[in-house]
Amino acid sequence: TRHDARRAAMTFEVHRRAPPPHLAGIVAAITGYRETAPGWTRMREAAPLRVPLIISFGAPFRIALGRAPHEADRQPSSAGLFPGPVEIASDGAAACVQADFTPLGAVRLFGGALADLANRMVPLDLALGTDGARLRERLGATPDWSTRFAIVEAFVTARLTHRPSPEVSFAWHRLAATGGALRITALAEEIGWSRQRLHTRFRAELGQGPKTVARMLRFHHACRAATRANTGWAGIAADCGYADQAHLAREFLDLGGEPPTTWARRVAARDPRLNPLAEAP
C-alpha cells in the first residue's frame, strides 16, 4: 500500500557498489541493506532470475517461496531459481549484504549444488558450510559498507571453482537474447542435442528446465515492457509472444502471484531504492 511504501522509505537504507570487472557476468549486483526502525516491512519479488546469496548479520528476513512467510522461514539464506513469487518480511532489525548472481554465475559458485537449491530457501551454512558462518560473523564485525563489499567480493572470487558446460551456457544466452521466445526444440537442434537431453542437462546445471526458464524470461520481458511503454496489456502480450492477453494474465498469476494491473500498482508504489533489486533478470 502507499502507507507501507511511505513508512518503508523512512526505515531502511540501501547501499550498492558495482561488481568489479572480474565478476562481470557472474555477480549481477551487490547490495547492502539495513533497517533503521522497528516495524514490519513486506516485499515481493516475482520469479527472480537472479540467484541470491543473503548474508544476514542483523535479524534474518523471513523468506518463503510462493506463500506468506512465517517464523520458521527466518534464517540467513540462499536460494536457487524459483518460477513464482518470493515473499519477504522483516521486523525492522534486518541488516545484510546480498550478492545476486546470474544463473551462469551461480553455477560458477555452487557447481552441481545449484540444482539442489532450486525451489527452496536454505540456511547459509547449508549452502556454504562453515565458511558461510564465518563470513556472516566477519561482516557483522565490520563497521563500514565498503569493507563489507570488499570482503564479499574476495570471498566469492575465491570460490569460483566451477564452470557451466558450453552447451548450457549457449542455451541460456540464446534464451535470454530472445526474451524466452525461442522454441526449445529449435534450441536443441542448434546445439545438436535432443530436446530431452537439453532438458536434462539444463536442469541438472541451473535447477530448472529450459522451458521453465524461457517462461521466466518472457515474463520479465513483459514486466520491462509494462514499465517502458504505454501499449496496453493486449499490446504487451502480442509483443512478448503470448497467445493473447488472457495468457499473459495467467502467467502473471503463476509467476508473479498477482494480476498484471495489481503488479503494476505495486511496482509504481515501491520505494525507488528497491527497483534494481526486483523484476529485472
* CA 117-123-124 angle, 5° bins: 95
Question: Averaged over 39-48, what is the pLDDT?
Answer: 90
pLDDT at residue 280, as a whole number: 41
pTM of the model: 0.91
Task: Report d(CA 235, CA 242) in Å as an integer.
Answer: 10
| pLDDT reading at 11 higher than 90 | no
Band of residue 254 on the pLDDT scale cut at 50, 70, 90:
very high
Percentage of the chain modeled with pLDDT above 90: 80
What string of H, E and C letters represents the secondary structure of the chain? CHHHHHHHHCCEEEEEECCCHHHCCCEEEEEEEEECCCCCEEEEEECCCCEEEEEECCCCCEEEECCCCCHHHECCEEECCCCCEEEEEECCCCEEEEEEECHHHHHHHHCCHHHHHCCCEEEHHHHHCHHHHHHHHHHHCCCCHHHHHHHHHHHHHHCCCCCCCHHHHHHHHHHHHCCCCCCHHHHHHHHCCCHHHHHHHHHHHHCCCHHHHHHHHHHHHHHHHHHHCCCHHHHHHHHCCCCCHHHHHHHHHHHHCCCHHHHHHHHHHCCHHHHHHCCCC
pLDDT at residue 5, as a whole number: 46
Average pLDDT taken over every residue of the chain: 91
Band of residue 269 on the pLDDT scale cut at 50, 70, 90:
confident
pLDDT at residue 10, as a whole number: 57
Question: Averaged over 26-46, what is the pLDDT?
Answer: 92
Percentage of the chain modeled with pLDDT above 70: 94
pLDDT at residue 3, as a whole number: 44
Task: Report d(CA 44, CA 120) in Å as an integer.
Answer: 16
| pLDDT reading at 4 higher than 70 | no
pLDDT at residue 217, as a whole number: 97
Picking from 127-131, 162-166, 210-214, 232-236, which range would have the lowest pLDDT averaged per residue?
A: 127-131
Question: Averaged over 135-139, what is the pLDDT?
Answer: 95
pLDDT tens per residue, range 150-198: 999 999 999 999 999 999 999 999 999 999 999 999 999 999 999 999 9
Copy the grid coordinates of residue 223: 514486466
pLDDT at residue 15, as a whole number: 94
